[in-house]
Structure 1
Amino acid sequence: MAALSLPGEPQVPPTAAVWVAVDDAAAVPGARRRAASLASTLGFPADVLGEVEIIASELATNLVKHGRGGDLVLRTTAAGTVQLLAIDSGPGTRDLAGLVRDGVSTTGTLGVGLGAVGRLADHLDLWSEVGRGAVVVAEVGPPPVAPRAPVGHLLRPLRGEIECGDAIAWRQVGATWLVAVADGLGHGPLAAEASGRAAHVLRTSPSTSPVELVGLMHRALAATRGAAVAVSRVDPDRGTVTHAAVGNVSGRLVDASGGTRALATQPGIVGHKLPRVRENAYPLDTARLLVLHSDGLTDKWSGSALPDVDVHGPDVCAAALVRDAGTRRDDAGVLTLRLPSPAPVPRRVPSP
């Protein structure tokens, strides 16, 4: 894709994820080798490469032993780390964090797998529920130079494709967050080009208006297949999220109790058939998570089934959504933004 001549300081785009199906023990060596190969692209020293291999091997082994098979997702981050996500739909447990302690096992083994992951990973997030499986996010790399962004995401290409036709993007301007999901029409490289252009606009444009950003995306996508796009601006100081969306993309606000509010979208195709775009403002109120996703995820997911956003990071929430709501018949793309806790309402002190 040719670079677009747009003003602004671009952020490093999220890298493509490598999905490794781990259905039996024979897949474990391959998962280990692919993790090491990915980590080597970052120039990690030999001892750190060895740690990445151990983590990949232990996560893949746990997928077989405890999760009845699942997926190991490998990717690099803009912070220069390697992230490994183990996702399964197995029996789950109420005490997954307890399994990080060496010697704890649910299958009669020595229980050193997750213990090794806990010791070696620079960041670890685990979530599980009985009957629903587990999500483990492990990260290896240099310590962050800035606080961890409250953004999670996951992209999964259509089965049989290498490139995902969906794209995500985010940008921070002061306390304000701009986030977007784009779903290129169709699948494969041409869909990826369209969605990638939309994501590039959000990362590099100086505009913070969802309506203006959709308009800029429309012009940038004119020579492509086009895309469905959702753009949100979260203003914590104002307590609002402003949203504009065109096409079959979804947005929801999720509160701590699991209640959700849908964000409006309009019919059309960004790049070809753009209606007069409207943006809507919604109060954040008690919302704790903003979710944007393509139609590669069904809308039939429940906020009450998500991990506790006050305990777990947004990447765990994104992985749980793709696992539970993603369809293998389409590209799947989801972005999750953890929202700040609402400010406490000051008590009125009666006058003496």
Structure 2
Amino acid sequence: MIAVSVTEASQVAEARRTCVELSQRNGFDEEAGGRVAIVATELSTNLVKHGTGGQILVGIVEDEQGGPAIEVIAIDKGGGIADLESALRDGVSTAGTAGAGLGAIKRQSNCFEIFSQSGRGTVLVARLYAKPENGKRGLGISDARPACVSVPYPGESVCGDGWAARAEGGVQTLMVIDGLGHGPDAAKVSNEALRLFDKYWQEDPSEVVRCLHAGLRSTRGGAVAVARVEPAAKRVTYSGVGNISGAICSSNGDMRRMMSYNGTIGHNARNVQQLQYAMDRPEDTMIVMHSDGIGTSWQSSAYPGLIGRAPILLASVLYRDFTRGRDDATVLVCKGVIS
């Protein structure tokens, strides 16, 4: 993902240009690109006018038919939106954070989600499809696929973190990799890990980690974790080496952190094991994995109503509130049950 700081009006044009250029590189025609420009402008302008400034995050995801879609996320730590229903009417502005233009953003987007808390700020996610006919407009994000926010170290053009998710028979297998350091050499680690994961992901999580360890010996190494989410068995099997964090979060506020072992994948990983954790109610559960660019002091209970909604909302909120700002930062979120 690309992150653009928007704290003053002069930065709105940069955010719009970044979003439009990314859409053009991914098959958006002039009309679809025009919708992207409108959404990026409205989101960025609202950050300046009605919030305390914030960031625009933009990346490419898949639409419902597997085609390209652009995801534009606006995050701020303003006062929050007191009346969302009113704010979604065109031209309405709510003091403290984004309000004006939300109705227009929803109309232009194929998918639209928002989460706002009084005194803590707002996260708004808009997805626009290169082929608008692949989905209706203004809908919520209903798919249960894993979602990720992954942002490079400030000033770098590539991210040293990587992530992957595969599904088969209702079972999900997830990986987060953090190449040592940041920049191109760290990205080489994560790219090779992704290649190896594609080859071995159907093995037990601990065996996947062992294969990664053997395959990354020629690199600078890093930290990795692999999780297998099995809703029918009501369990998550987790294997990690290094400082990737994992947690199982329930809608009732309960949260259980999963354990990784000390070491550096590719160099020193003597104790590769896997542990199993129960999911009492998979349908009311989310699994979170993140690199050490995200602080570990968060609690899912601080965000009532968020567990069970679109995974990208929780990933974006945790990035907003806990990114350290001095490393690559990745947050991967999935639901306990995929539809």
Q: TM-score, normalised by structure 2?
A: 0.90
The CA distance in 2 between the partners of 1:97 and 1:208, in whole Å, is 47
Partner residue of 1:102?
90
Mapped partners of 2:124, 2:198: distance in 1: 28
Is the aligned partner of 1:247 residue 2:242?
Answer: yes
Match of 1:62 among 21, 27, 46: 46
Question: RMSD across aligned C-alpha pairs, in angstroms?
Answer: 2.2
**Structure 1 stretches of 5 or more lacking a match?**
1-16, 342-352
2:216 matched residue in structure 1: 221
Pairwise CA distance, 1:102? 1.3
Residue of structure 2 in register with 1:166 after alignment:
161
CA–CA separation in structure 2 for the residues paired with 1:203 and 1:58: 39
Shift of 1:148: 2.8
**Cα distance in 1 between the residues matched to 2:229 and 2:21:** 37
> CA offsets, 1:255-289, max 9 Å, x none?
11222101111011111111131101111113611
Identity fraction in percent: 39
| Aligned equivalents of 1:249, 1:111: Cα separation in 2 | 36
Amino acid at match of 1:19: A
Cα 1:250–1:198 change in 2 (3 A) is: same
Distance 2:215 2:90 in 1: 53
Give the match's secondary structure for 1:81: strand
Question: How far apart are the structure 1 equivalents of 2:73 and 2:126?
Answer: 6
| SS in structure 2 of the partner of residue 76 of structure 1 | strand
**Of 314, 317, 321, the match for 1:317:** 314
Query: Residue type of the partner of 2:237?
Result: T
* Aligned partners of 1:219 and 1:271 also within 8 Å: yes
Task: Establish whether residue 50 from structure 1 lines up as the match of residue 20 from structure 2.
Answer: no
CA contact (8 A) 2:285 2:308 kept: no
SS of aligned partner of 2:301: helix
Amino acid at match of 1:283: A
Which of the residues 325, 330, 335 maps onto 1:328?
Answer: 325
1:181 touches 1:230 (CA, 8 Å); kept in 2? yes
In the other structure, the counterpart of 2:139 is none
Go from structure 1 to structure 2 and tell me whether the alpha carbon gap of 1:24 and 1:236 turns closer, same or farther (over 3 Å shift). same
Q: Report if the CA contact (8 A) 1:125-1:312 is conserved.
A: no
Are 1:38 and 2:27 counterparts?
no
Matched, 1:298 2:295: yes
Moved more, 259-268 or 51-60: 259-268
One-letter amino acid of the counterpart of residue 23, structure 1: T
- Pick from 63, 80, 101: which aligns with 1:113? 101
Post-superposition offset of 1:32: 1.2
Give yes or no for contact 2:170–2:337 (8 Å, CA) kept in 1: no
Evaluate the alpha carbon distance shift between residue 326 and residue 211 of structure 1 in structure 2; reply closer, same or farther with a 3 A threshold.
Answer: same
Please tell me whether the aligned partners of residues 126 and 312 of structure 1 are also in contact (alpha carbons under 8 angstroms). no
Deviation of the 1:311 alpha carbon: 5.6
On the 8 A contact 2:116/2:123 being kept in 1, the answer is yes
Instruction: Quote the Cα distance in structure 1 between the aligned partners of 2:200 and 2:126.
Output: 32
The letter for the 1-side match of 2:323 is G
Structure 2 gap segments, 5+ residues each: 136-141
- How far off is 1:89 after superposition? 0.8
Residue type of the alignment partner of 1:291: V
Count how many residue pairs are aligned between Structure 1 and Structure 2: 324
Aligned-partner residue type, residue 26 of structure 1? S
Distance 1:65 1:270 in 2: 46
Amino acid at match of 1:180: M
In 2, Cα distance between equivalents of 1:324 and 1:37: 28
Residue 66 of structure 1 aligns to which amino acid in structure 2? H
8 Å contact from structure 1 (residues 182, 227) kept in 2? yes
- 1:8 is aligned to none
- 8 Å contact kept, 2:144–2:337: no
Mapping of residues 132-151 of structure 1, within 5 Å: 132-141=120-129, 142=131, 143=134, 148-151=143-146
For 2:334, the equivalent position in structure 1 comes to 337
Hey, what's the Cα distance between the residues in 2 that align with 1:59 and 1:170? 29
Shift of 1:217: 0.8
Q: Is the 8 A contact 2:286 2:334 kept in 1?
A: yes
CA distance in 2 between partners of 1:306 and 1:233 (Å): 25
Paired residue secondary structure (2:35): helix
- 1:308 is displaced (CA, Å) by 2.6
Distance in 2, Cα, partners of 1:106 & 1:87: 16
Farther off after superposition, 190-199 or 178-187: 190-199
